[in-house]
């Protein structure tokens, strides 16, 4: 199949991100987008991770231009409150992938000095952890601060406004044709390839490749091309959300550089500080609570009774194929995990990046072998996202409500076999272990944290925050100290020296960070101006 033209069906964030990618990265393609003006967009606020920055660079978008138009703020960290247990919180800062040597050094210090696992973020992360903890930000490079602003900050923004900005400032100026019409049907050839989509106006819109961005409806990929939907239950149980915006009462304190995730009785609440207001949402499971009770619980958490709530139905899972004949699903039309960890935008970016690379590699020519490879890689990646998000529930110690007892005690993620202690790295049939099996395997043989390809440091921050122990005291004394023929006393002295250097570094870093502007002040100085 030779691709000369692309039609994106559906607007929103995924639709206009897709259009922007084609327009900017593939100027030889004819790109058009059709969307209805009768579909309400959610626009509850979006939280990103640093992978999103590469998309902004590819689109040529500068912070000072797009952020004010999208109510955007900077994000340095994800904070999880009451996930491990009530009254406990931990951080997942961006940056600091320092590798196994740093992890090993911290493990030995932690075992010797009996530090809490939470200290992992302070020792192995970049100094971003302290910017997040004290709600400060800076672009300055300083000899005290181990922090790279461009690589270790992400964003919060209004998703609806972001889609509009892409449409007006990136896509249409770069040649994307915009159609406003309701799709009421499709036409196919004798081999099942779509030849056109039919609008309510009677107009027929044709292309070589059709990109389905119609959300959970999956109008083309599922309904027309028959790609089977595979649910993520029982690994993930949250299937509902209530969303709202609330005003600031103390903007200097409430506008933080954190995405706050707070676990409550039947799910968790997001807190996304935008420039003019705070996006709030309650993600929960209808298996444990009905909508009316969830609304009462959410309002009680907010401390606000008079607030408008938007109900969102979550369809978590993945379609068996992302690409069928000449249709590819991007965004919710292909897969969704849940709002935790911002996996929706990440998966959209990942698929777009993979698609763009394939088109460049093969000069816009694709065959079934290439499509099959794309589908395989996409599903593996989505299942890894599913595993990672499910860790946030499975690793918790909470059992104070039926919901949390189910999450932490009532689910078997996998059938791993009778003896966990002898699970090999690969099964006899050659299939690689999934991420959860790998975690169990390493935990069982030595309480060591594994290196998990594709997860980076994220799983370490999560394990540390949940109190999962690497290198226990007994393991350290029996197996670490005697290794290498080195005198145990000398090894302990080295560990002591590392510990003291780390304490001095933390002290100096905190002292410097406290001199920096708050997140609110930083945004005023760099993005919004003091007069706004």
pLDDT digit string (tens) for 199-229? 999 999 999 999 999 999 999 999 999 999 9
Residues 470-490 have a mean pLDDT of 72
pLDDT at 407 over 70: yes
Q: What is the 3-state secondary structure (H, E, C) of 369-434?
A: HHHHHHHHHHHHHHHHHHHHHHHHHHCCCCCCCHHHHHHHHCCCCCCCCCCHHHCCCECCCCCECC
Between CA 272 and CA 521 the distance in angstroms is 18
Confidence label for 414 from pLDDT (cuts 50, 70 and 90): very low
* Cβ atoms of residues 416 and 437 within 8 Å: yes
Q: Assess whether pLDDT exceeds 60 at residue 417.
A: no
Residue 452 has pLDDT above 60, yes or no: no
Residue among 370, 371, 331 at smallest CA distance from 349: 331
Is 259 within 8 Å of 156 (Cβ atoms)? Answer: yes
Q: 103: pLDDT confidence band, cut at 50, 70 and 90?
A: confident
Amino acid 97: pLDDT? 59
What is the percent of the chain where pLDDT is above 70? 87
Report d(CA 424, CA 388) in Å as an integer. Answer: 21
pTM: 0.89
Residue 333, CA distances (Å) to 163, 227, 229, 348, 379 in order:
17, 11, 10, 10, 14
Residue 89, H or E segment = strand 89-93
**114 vs 421: which has the higher pLDDT:** 114
**Whole-angstrom distance, CA of residue 525 vs CA of residue 142:** 19
pLDDT of res. 457: 65
Residue 194 CA to residue 326 CA, distance in Å, equals 7
**CA pair distance 500, 512, nearest whole angstrom:** 19
* Cα 279 from Cα 158, distance rounded (Å): 9
Phi, psi (degrees; rounded to nearest 5) at 482: -75, -10
pLDDT at residue 413 is higher than 60: no
Among 39-43, 278-282, 298-302, the least confident range: 39-43
Tens-digit pLDDT profile for residues 79-94:
999 999 999 999 999 8
Tokens of 102: 């740093």
Buried/exposed code over 507-516 (b: 16+ C-beta within 10 A; e: otherwise): eebeebbeeb
Q: How high does pLDDT run on average in the chain? A: 87
pLDDT at 430: 39
Residues 6+ apart with CB under 8 A from 128: 76, 77, 93, 94, 95, 96, 147, 152
pLDDT at 415 over 80: no
Q: Give residue 383's pLDDT.
A: 87
Least confident of 202-216, 217-231, 425-439, 483-497: 425-439
Cα–Cα–Cα angle for 139, 141, 142, rounded to 5 degrees: 130
pLDDT digits (tens, 9 = 90+) for 372-406: 999 999 988 898 888 889 889 989 999 999 999 99
pLDDT of residue 530: 58
The SS3 assignment for 199 reads strand
The percentage of residues in the chain with a pLDDT greater than 90, rounded to a whole number, is: 66
What's the pLDDT at 48? Answer: 87
Q: Are 22 and 222 in contact (CB under 8 A)?
A: no
| pLDDT greater than 60 at residue 278 | yes
Bond preceding residue 234 cis, omega within 30 of 0: yes
Whether 447 shows a pLDDT value over 70: the answer reads no
Give mean pLDDT, residues 33-52: 78
pLDDT tens string 123-156:
988 899 999 999 999 997 777 888 989 889 999 9
Which pLDDT does position 444 carry in this prediction?
Answer: 43
């Amino acid at each position: 199949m030779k691709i000369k033209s692309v039609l994106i069906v559906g607007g929103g964030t995924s639709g206009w991100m897709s259009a922007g990618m084609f327009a900017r990265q593939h100027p030889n393609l004819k790109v058009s987008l059709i969307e209805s003006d009768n579909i309400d967009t959610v626009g509850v606020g979006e939280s990103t991770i640093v992978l999103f920055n590469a998309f902004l660079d590819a689109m040529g978008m500068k912070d000072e231009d797009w952020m004010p138009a999208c109510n955007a703020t900077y994000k340095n960290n994800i904070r999880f409150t009451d996930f491990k247990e009530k009254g406990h919180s931990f951080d997942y800062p961006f940056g600091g992938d320092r590798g196994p040597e740093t992890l090993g050094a911290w493990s030995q210090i932690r075992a010797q000095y009996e530090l809490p696992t939470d200290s992992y973020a302070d020792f192995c992360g970049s100094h971003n952890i302290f910017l997040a903890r004290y709600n400060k930000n800076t672009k300055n490079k300083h000899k005290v601060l181990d922090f790279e602003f461009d690589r270790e900050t992400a964003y919060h923004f209004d998703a609806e406004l972001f889609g509009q900005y892409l449409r007006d400032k990136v896509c249409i100026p770069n040649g994307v044709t915009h159609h406003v019409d309701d799709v009421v049907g499709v036409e196919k050839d004798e081999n099942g390839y779509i030849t056109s989509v039919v609008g309510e106006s009677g107009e027929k819109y044709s292309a070589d490749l059709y990109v389905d961005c119609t959300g959970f409806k999956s109008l083309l990929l599922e309904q027309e091309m028959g790609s089977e939907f595979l649910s993520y239950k029982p690994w993930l149980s949250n299937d509902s959300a209530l969303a709202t915006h609330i005003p600031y009462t103390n903007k200097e304190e409430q506008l933080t550089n954190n995405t706050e995730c707070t676990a409550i009785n039947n799910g968790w609440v997001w807190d996304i500080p935008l420039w003019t207001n705070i996006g709030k949402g309650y993600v929960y499971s209808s298996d444990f609570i009905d909508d009316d009770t969830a609304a009462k619980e959410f309002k009680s958490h907010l401390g606000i009774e008079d607030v408008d709530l938007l109900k969102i139905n979550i369809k978590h899972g993945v379609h068996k194929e992302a690409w069928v004949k000449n249709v590819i699903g991007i965004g919710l039309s292909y897969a969704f995990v849940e709002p935790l960890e911002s996996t929706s935008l990440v998966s959209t970016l990942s698929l777009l990046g993979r698609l763009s690379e394939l088109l460049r590699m093969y000069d816009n020519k694709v065959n079934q072998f290439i499509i099959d490879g794309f589908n395989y890689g996409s599903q593996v990646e989505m299942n890894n996202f599913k595993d990672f998000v499910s860790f946030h529930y499975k690793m918790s110690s909470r059992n104070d409500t039926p919901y949390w007892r189910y999450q932490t005690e009532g689910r078997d993620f996998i059938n791993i076999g009778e003896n966990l202690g002898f699970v090999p790295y690969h099964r006899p049939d050659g299939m690689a272990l999934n991420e959860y099996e790998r975690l169990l395997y390493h935990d069982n043989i030595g309480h060591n944290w594994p290196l998990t390809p594709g997860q980076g440091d994220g799983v370490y921050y999560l394990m540390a925050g949940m109190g999962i122990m690497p290198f226990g005291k007994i393991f350290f004394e029996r197996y670490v100290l005697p290794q290498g023929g080195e005198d145990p006393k000398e090894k302990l002295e080295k560990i002591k020296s590392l510990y003291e250097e780390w304490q001095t570094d933390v002290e100096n870093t905190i002292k410097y960070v406290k001199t920096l502007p708050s997140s609110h002040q930083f945004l005023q100085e760099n993005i919004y101006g003091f007069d706004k």
